[in-house]
Amino acid sequence: MLIFNNISIPLRTPLVLKATPRRNAVVLAQKQQQQQQTLTALTNLTISDEALASRGFALHRTINKLNLDHLNSVFVAVGFPRRDTDKIRVALENSDALLWIEYEKAERPVAFARATGDGVFNAIIWDVVVDPSFQGIGLGKAVMERLVNVLLEKGITNIALYSEPRVLGFYRPLGFVADPDGIRGMVYSRKQKKKR
């Protein structure tokens, strides 16, 4: 798991909070208050909305106009499993923020990213994809920079994501670090549980 490191605030996992709830809750509240006070500038955009538009790309921040079958095809094209489109709709409707880029000429989504969370403190970024035909021209960075800014504007600074090893080099320059202060992300693994 990678953590956004605009401000160095460690991620407090529910596991930590469970151990000594009261004390940690107070510490967490204090940290989060500091976070708000020391909030630095938003991420600078590498490519402006206007520059994207001049190249035929339109930015969208809602699912209106988003063809979910086309989006699903982009997911499949990059190697994600095909998922039920109705479930994707529910997931997107329950997301805190999302951003997608349409290639206007084809009227198709070519880049996408979304974040879920509690709306004030924490967010996790999911489904960062760029259509293979459009990779390497800055669209991935364009959606990520804007998605992070949407979250920072809401005051959300605990921003995490899961990264495949081959993509770590994409996320690092965007401000994400692995294991800040030794904190590790953990994932519930049914496979492991069955083994016991």
Ligand X SMILES: CC(C)(COP(=O)(O)OP(=O)(O)OC[C@H]1O[C@@H](n2cnc3c(N)ncnc32)[C@H](O)[C@@H]1OP(=O)(O)O)[C@@H](O)C(=O)NCCC(=O)NCCS
Strand, coil or helix: what is 122?
A: strand
Quick one: tokens of 184?
């590790």
Quick one: tokens of 48?
């402006």
**Kind and range of the H or E run holding 115:** strand 108-117
- Is position 162 annotated as part of the catalytic site? no
Residues 17-56 touching ligand X, rule: CB under 6 A, are none
Interaction between residue 182 and ligand X (CB under 6 A)? no
> What would you report as the CA-atom Rg of the chain, rounded to the nearest whole angstrom?
18
12 Cα distance to chain centroid? 18
Interaction between residue 139 and ligand X (CB under 6 A)? yes
Strand, coil or helix: what is 141?
A: helix
Which member of 140, 147, 151, 176 binds ligand X (CB under 6 A)?
140
Helix axes 85-93, 68-77, angle to 10 degrees: 100
Interaction between residue 117 and ligand X (CB under 6 A)? no
Q: How far apart are the first and last CA of the chain?
A: 25
**Kind and range of the H or E run holding 129:** strand 122-130
Q: Which is nearer to ligand X, 67 or 135 (CB)?
A: 135
Q: Which is nearer to ligand X, 27 or 167 (CB)?
A: 167
Interaction between residue 59 and ligand X (CB under 6 A)? no
Candidates 9-17, 127-135, 151-159, 185-193: pick the segment binding ligand X (CB under 6 A): 127-135
Interaction between residue 12 and ligand X (CB under 6 A)? no
Rounded least distance, CB 127 to ligand X, Å:
8
Provide φ and ψ at 124, rounded to 5°: -125, 135
Q: Which is nearer to ligand X, 117 or 138 (CB)?
A: 138
Q: How many residues bind ligand X (CB under 6 A)?
A: 17
Q: Which is nearer to ligand X, 2 or 35 (CB)?
A: 2
Interaction between residue 73 and ligand X (CB under 6 A)? no
- The Cα–Cα gap between 49 and 89 comes to 26
Interaction between residue 187 and ligand X (CB under 6 A)? no
Active site residues: 171
Contact residues: ligand X, CB under 6 A? 78, 128-130, 135-141, 163-164, 166-167, 169-170
